[in-house]
Amino acid sequence: HALVRYKFVVRESSHTRLCTNKTMLTVNGQFPGPPIYATRGELVIVDVYNHADHNITIHWHGVKMPRYPWSDGPEYVTQCPISPGTMFSQRVILSDEVGTLWWHAHSEWWRVSVYGAFIILPKKKNDYPFPTPHAQVPILLGEWWNANVEEVMEEFLANGGDPNISDAFLINGQPGDLYPCSRQGTFHLTVEFGKTYLIRMVNAVMNNIMFFRIANHNVTVVGSDGAYTKPLNSDYITISPGQTIDFLLEANQRPSHYYMASRVYASAGDYDNTTTTGIVQYIGNYTPPSSPLLPSFPNFNDTLASISFTKQLRSLVNKQYPIDVPLNITTKLFFTLSINLRPCAENRTCDGPFQERLLASVNNVSMVLPKIDILQAYYKSIGGVYQTDFPDNPPFTFNFTQNFVPRDLWRPENGTYVNILEYNETVELVFQGTNMVDGIDHPMHLHGYSFYVVGSGLGNFDKDKDPLNYNLVDPPLMETIAVPRNGWTTIRFKANNPGVWFLHCHFERHVSWGMGMVFIVKNGKGPHAKMLPPPPDMPKC
């Protein structure tokens, strides 16, 4: 292991967007936060200092952390938060990840301003499965609220309704030309005609899947979620919160200025229909247009456009990058993803539909975070923190995606349940979206693993027919996958990473409502199949 070391100071700093100045939580005063650069297989140590006045944790999104959940980051799942005035030295253990991942706060809604790119370069310089790019550029999609985001969070949790939507989307921290007071900061990508650029895109938005497109330019996708894909030529990209996409941009158009732009794909609910932009600016001797060409987009609710991009992703698969899809499945899981309602506390009404409270669940369980972390409770056998019988299947079945699911049909249960997997079990997990309250997409993210996405479709999963169409040859390897609205997605993985691993929807409002669960993967036999011990400086609750 070579070693890289970073220092992250989490603190308030002041930033202005949309003519509004506010102090917000950042790392090292930067927004977005500093990128981490590492090489495949390296050990990265990040010393995280909490100079804020509240708790925080940091998660290394997409890093599998072999046998070492201790630094993974989700608060009350694998650690107690880092309290004000203390620090935690996090060991970020890379293995086979290559390409783009990211890091973000994993505590309440702090990730809105506490995030950055995590770029993993090949071991040998420029050893890419595509022509060496002239330059590489991270592009992070983000969000800005004029309001204090913690207040936004507290308010919707108290009132039981949907959260307020943000005031702008951002490209590398900037709203772009179409928002007030924003022109000066607009992100410019300078390109030279004839050269190719590797764009490393992260969707760090809180609550929306995004479309992204560059006027006049097609792109070639070459990676996603820290793994290479077969080259995919496309004129737009769909990217879920949590997901990363690496693509090549060829500067092959008449030298000028062109807008890159991003806006929401939203199948339901309230959304912000504004467009964030950046500029692709060719080097050269020309008069730039006063308003560059804007790309056109699929409709906001164009589910098929959203899905068809994602469905075309394929693993690269060659000698150097082989694939290892589990073929003999030992464990079949079927998880329903639902938005639920619960009557408001007595004598009051809530802001959700029918004046009830919105919740979300997996197999009818709405997850409650415990007071001390599940990992510690598991490791030290502390009782009363979680229950072990998280259901493999929903408690009963119905027509999940019918037009109207009676709201009394299914009230969620609150609880902290884990599903226990034996070491090396081969898992097939079907996510089934339901039309309870609102059929909507769910970008599901699993910690500690990448998984193969072997199939997906609309409507109810058919256990006899749908598996016949699984792709077991070159399915994409991902760690976040959008389960389509009123549809299903099947993933496969081998439970070869012992530890405690969070599975949750990467829409922040949904995970706040309880759309998550935890896998405990037990130790196997032999020294390389056991969880490593905790570091001495684990934060205390």
Chain residues 75-104 in contact with ligand C2O, contact rule CB under 6 A: 104
Of the candidate residues 32, 33, 69, 74, the single one contacting ligand C2O (CB under 6 A)? 74
Residues in the chain: 541
Residue 197 contact partner, candidates ligand C2O, Cu ion, none, CB within 5 to 8 A by sort of partner? none
Q: Is there binding between residue 502 and ligand C2O (CB under 6 A)?
A: yes
CA nearest to 418, candidates 301, 538, 537, 333: 333
Q: Which CB sits closer to ligand C2O, 60 or 334?
A: 60
Q: Is there binding between residue 505 and Cu ion (CB under 5 A)?
A: yes
Q: Is there binding between residue 445 and ligand C2O (CB under 6 A)?
A: yes
Residue 104 contact partner, candidates ligand C2O, Cu ion, none, CB within 5 to 8 A by sort of partner? ligand C2O
Of the candidate residues 25, 26, 33, 59, the single one contacting ligand C2O (CB under 6 A)? 59
Structure tokens at 471: 């792709």
The answer to whether the CB of 497 falls within 8 A of the CB of 67 is yes
Q: Is there binding between residue 242 and ligand C2O (CB under 6 A)?
A: yes
Q: Is 126 left (phi over 0), alpha (psi -120 to 50) or beta?
A: left
For residue 433, the minimal CB distance to Cu ion (Å) is 9
What is the helix (H) or strand (E) element at residue 375, kind and residue range? Answer: helix 374-379
For residue 114, the minimal CB distance to Cu ion (Å) is 21
Q: Is there binding between residue 499 and ligand C2O (CB under 6 A)?
A: no
Q: Which CB sits closer to Cu ion, 163 or 173?
A: 163
Distances (CA, A) of 485 to 378, 460, 467, 482: 35, 11, 19, 9
Q: Is there binding between residue 509 and ligand C2O (CB under 6 A)?
A: no
Of the candidate residues 59, 64, 447, 510, the single one contacting Cu ion (CB under 5 A)? 510
Of the candidate residues 17, 200, 357, 504, the single one contacting ligand C2O (CB under 6 A)? 504
Q: Which stretch binds Cu ion (CB under 5 A): 381-389, 396-404, 436-444, 485-493?
A: 436-444
Q: Is there binding between residue 61 and ligand C2O (CB under 6 A)?
A: yes
Q: Is there binding between residue 335 and Cu ion (CB under 5 A)?
A: no
For residue 429, the minimal CB distance to Cu ion (Å) is 16
Residues facing 263 on adjacent strands: 211
What is the helix (H) or strand (E) element at residue 511, kind and residue range? Answer: helix 508-512
Q: Is there binding between residue 173 and ligand C2O (CB under 6 A)?
A: no
Of the candidate residues 187, 197, 507, 513, the single one contacting Cu ion (CB under 5 A)? 507
Alpha helices in 72-186 (DSSP H): 149-159
Q: Is there binding between residue 442 and Cu ion (CB under 5 A)?
A: yes
Q: Which CB sits closer to ligand C2O, 292 or 443?
A: 443
For every residue of 266-318, DSSP letters joined together read -SSS------EEEEEEE-SSSPPPSSPBPPP---TT-HHHHHHHHHT--B--S
Mark 458-475 as b/e (b = at least 16 C-beta within 10 Å).
ebbbeeeebbeebbeebb
Of the candidate residues 17, 64, 67, 106, the single one contacting ligand C2O (CB under 6 A)? 106
Mark 78-106 as b/e (b = at least 16 C-beta within 10 Å).
bbbbbeeeebbebbbbbeebbbbbbbbbb
Sequence-ordered list of residues with C-beta below 8 angstroms from that of 282, at least 6 positions apart, any chain: 190, 191, 192, 193, 251, 253, 255, 256, 257
Binding site for Cu ion (CB under 5 A): 442, 505, 507, 510
Binding site for ligand C2O (CB under 6 A): 59, 61, 74, 104, 106, 242, 445, 447, 502, 504, 506
